[in-house]
């Protein structure tokens, strides 16, 4: 992708995000746009976003892959990996070559290397003193990520943070917890719906998720609503 095309895609993404940040926006869809853009425009191999629940535990809310091994790896990333460190410290944590990663990341590192990932950057979703999660960027080649790509990815993370920390949530911590819990609950329903579509259509989990997103866009529905109606058997794909 040439520089002009890349910059155009970045501007289109920010414009799309601006349109998304309204009172009734879908948090999961917002975050899915961000990880997809990191993969497709910033040319990362994979990306994922974790959000913290009210107890401070990180859970995957959006990712560029829905495969079981990838999701399991991302949970290891949160438990004892760069993602967890980024969330706790509120700063970027990088590994230019996972072959030389800290021993404390061993379980995550082994899983990542087994799936073909060699480098990672974990960026905080943080506004002032409030940390709500992380954005992880994985690459199949060792080496430092281009500075411009990290700047753009951090800008995406900042947009996501602002979107979640809505003004109403900023005025009342209870609303912040509710917003985050809604996002996490939505993800649980989406996981259930993926299983329903995978079983009824006889397709892999990744394809089931793609079918759900395509249906949501075609019918101008929120992804979380489509998922709920699939689980309740009110719609079929």
Q: What is the pLDDT of residues 149-182, one digit of tens each?
A: 999 999 888 888 887 776 445 555 666 677 778 7
State how far the Cα of 59 lies from the Cα of 184, in Å rounded to an integer.
8
Q: If DSSP codes are grouped into helix, strand and coil, which group holds residue 94?
A: strand
Domain boundaries, the chain: 3-165, 171-237
What is the sign, positive or negative, of the torsion defined by CA atoms of 74, 80, 81, 87? Answer: positive
Number of neighbours of residue 101 by Cβ within 10 angstroms: 20
pLDDT at 174: 63
Q: What is the pLDDT of residues 4-40, one digit of tens each?
A: 577 777 777 776 766 666 656 677 888 898 899 999 8
Does the reported pTM lie above 0.85? no
Q: Which residues pair with 122 in a beta bridge?
A: 93, 136
Across residues 45-62, what is the average pLDDT?
92
Element (H, E) at 148: helix 147-164
State how far the Cα of 145 lies from the Cα of 149, in Å rounded to an integer.
7
- CATH architecture of the domain covering 3-165: 2-Layer Sandwich (3.30)
- Using alpha carbons, select from 101, 159, 153 the residue that is nearest to residue 122: 153
For 236, residues 6+ apart whose C-beta sits below 8 A from its C-beta are 200, 230
CATH topology (fold) of 171-237: Arc Repressor Mutant, subunit A (1.10.10)
What percent of the chain is predicted at pLDDT more than 90? 62
Token pair for 81: 């990996």
């Amino acid at each position: 992708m040439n520089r002009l095309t890349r910059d155009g895609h970045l501007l289109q993404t920010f414009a799309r995000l601006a349109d998304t940040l309204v009172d009734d926006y879908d948090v999961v869809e917002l975050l899915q746009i961000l990880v997809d853009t990191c993969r497709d425009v910033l040319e990362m191999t994979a990306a994922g976003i974790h959000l913290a629940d009210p107890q401070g535990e990180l859970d995957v809310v959006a990712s560029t892959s829905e495969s079981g091994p990838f999701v399991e790896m991302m949970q290891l990333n949160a438990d004892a990996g760069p993602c967890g460190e980024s969330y706790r410290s509120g700063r970027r944590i990088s590994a230019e070559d996972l072959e030389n990663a800290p021993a404390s990341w061993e379980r995550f590192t082994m899983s990542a290397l087994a799936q073909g990932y060699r480098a990672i950057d974990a960026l905080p979703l943080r506004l002032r003193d409030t940390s709500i999660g992380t954005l992880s960027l994985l690459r199949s080649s060792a080496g430092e990520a281009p500075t411009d790509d990290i700047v753009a990815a951090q800008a995406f993370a900042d947009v996501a943070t602002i979107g979640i920390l809505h003004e109403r949530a900023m005025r009342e911590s209870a609303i912040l917890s509710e917003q985050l819990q809604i996002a996490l609950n939505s993800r649980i329903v989406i996981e259930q719906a993926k299983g329903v579509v995978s079983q009824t259509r006889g397709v892999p989990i990744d394809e089931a998720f793609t079918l759900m997103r395509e249906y949501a866009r075609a019918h101008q529905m929120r992804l979380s609503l489509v998922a709920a109606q699939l689980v309740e058997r009110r719609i079929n794909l």
